[in-house]
């Protein structure tokens, strides 16, 4: 017979919170500690570092918050794919309260990093075949060699004068189905959510509006999703109300974040956007076999 246990992170209500932030450890432009200090200077009181496919910056960010009045939740952002109605949807899932030292999580992230490097290598090769001189070393320099993504290729292209801005690189070369695009390794939501749960975290569907398909929530709930990012810097009030209602109807945790990446957003500063959590604690029920 299975027993149940509970894991939870206690957070006080009514804080200025931003729970979706990126650093240079993935595709942001600030060091984790620098990000934390900017968040505190901007008046934020609760933050989470949610870098793509890496927890490398979590310790540094947590230590930096000890020098500020900010509270901190460990985080990560992972990607899953859901096939529905002859389409494949990319769904981003935030993991909060994860143990960044969990070996199962670290082993899984190591495999993801290898897949990222392989994909980046393919795109660089395709760009070379198009007559564009760019090297893997130049791309790695922007990513610090960890969690390499398309934005780092775009930054290298901009640095070499091939494009004038990041968006142009995606529009001309590395966006989906563009000449230098390479497909990524695909994981289903159950695998990603189980990975987050096994490391002690809760799983939240990030910026659901991007998918334009509420029907994706059903397979995510079946896979064990815990929450919904109802508040986002790019959501208007009506959109936030829609997802808040959807979360309440399905007994899901409500979170929010700016999805800040750093100096890539020239007209946005940390603290310009926030939401106030309505929960005092995050709790997840986990079934375990009796010892």
Which percentage of the chain shows pLDDT scores above 70? 89
Task: Tell me, yes or no, whether 56 and 84 share the same domain.
Answer: yes
- Model confidence pLDDT, tens digit, residues 200-234: 999 999 999 999 999 999 999 999 999 999 999 99
Inform me whether the pLDDT recorded for 141 exceeds 80. yes
Task: Tell me, yes or no, whether 115 and 94 share the same domain.
Answer: no
Structural domain includes residue 141: yes
Per the structure, how many domains does the chain have?
Answer: 2
pTM: 0.85
**Domain of residue 15, residue span:** 3-101+187-288
Structural domain includes residue 180: no
Interatomic CA distance for residues 230 and 216, integer angstroms: 15
Average pLDDT over residues 59-84: 95
Task: Tell me, yes or no, whether 83 and 191 share the same domain.
Answer: yes
CATH code assigned at 26: 3.20.20.140
pLDDT band at 288 (very low <50, low <70, confident <90, very high): very low
pLDDT band at 195 (very low <50, low <70, confident <90, very high): very high
Structural domain includes residue 217: yes
Task: Tell me, yes or no, whether 69 and 205 share the same domain.
Answer: yes
Task: Tell me, yes or no, whether 153 and 62 share the same domain.
Answer: no
- Model confidence pLDDT, tens digit, residues 233-287: 999 999 999 999 999 999 999 999 999 998 655 678 899 999 998 766 655 544 4
Greater confidence (151 vs 42) lies with 42
Inform me whether the pLDDT recorded for 7 exceeds 50. no
């Amino acid at each position: 017979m299975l027993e149940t246990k509970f894991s939870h992170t206690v957070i006080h209500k009514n804080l200025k919170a931003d729970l979706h932030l990126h650093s240079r450890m993935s595709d942001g432009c600030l060091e984790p500690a620098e990000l934390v200090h900017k968040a505190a200077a901007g008046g934020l009181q609760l933050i989470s570092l949610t870098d793509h496919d890496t927890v490398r910056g979590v310790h540094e960010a947590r230590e930096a918050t000890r020098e500020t009045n900010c509270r901190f939740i460990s985080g990560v952002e992972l990607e899953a794919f859901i096939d529905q109605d002859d389409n494949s949807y990319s769904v981003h899932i935030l993991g909060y309260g994860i143990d960044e030292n969990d070996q199962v999580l670290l082993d899984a992230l190591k495999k993801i990093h290898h897949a990222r490097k392989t994909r980046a290598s393919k795109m660089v090769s395709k760009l070379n075949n198009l007559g564009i001189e760019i090297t893997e070393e130049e791309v790695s320099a922007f990513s610090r060699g960890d969690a390499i993504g398309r934005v780092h290729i775009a930054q290298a292209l901009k640095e070499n004068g091939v494009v004038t801005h990041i968006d142009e690189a995606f529009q001309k070369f590395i966006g989906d189905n563009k000449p230098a695009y390479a497909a990524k390794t695909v994981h289903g939501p159950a695998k990603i959510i189980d990975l987050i749960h096994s490391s002690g975290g809760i799983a939240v569907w990030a910026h659901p509006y991007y998918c334009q398909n509420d029907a994706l929530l059903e397979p995510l709930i079946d896979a064990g999703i815990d929450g919904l990012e109802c508040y986002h810097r790019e959501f208007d009030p009506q959109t936030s109300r829609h997802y808040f209602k959807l979360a309440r109807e399905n007994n899901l945790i409500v979170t929010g974040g700016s999805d800040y990446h750093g100096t890539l957003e020239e007209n946005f500063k940390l603290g310009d956007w926030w939401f106030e959590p309505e929960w005092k604690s995050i709790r997840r029920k986990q079934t375990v076999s009796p010892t």
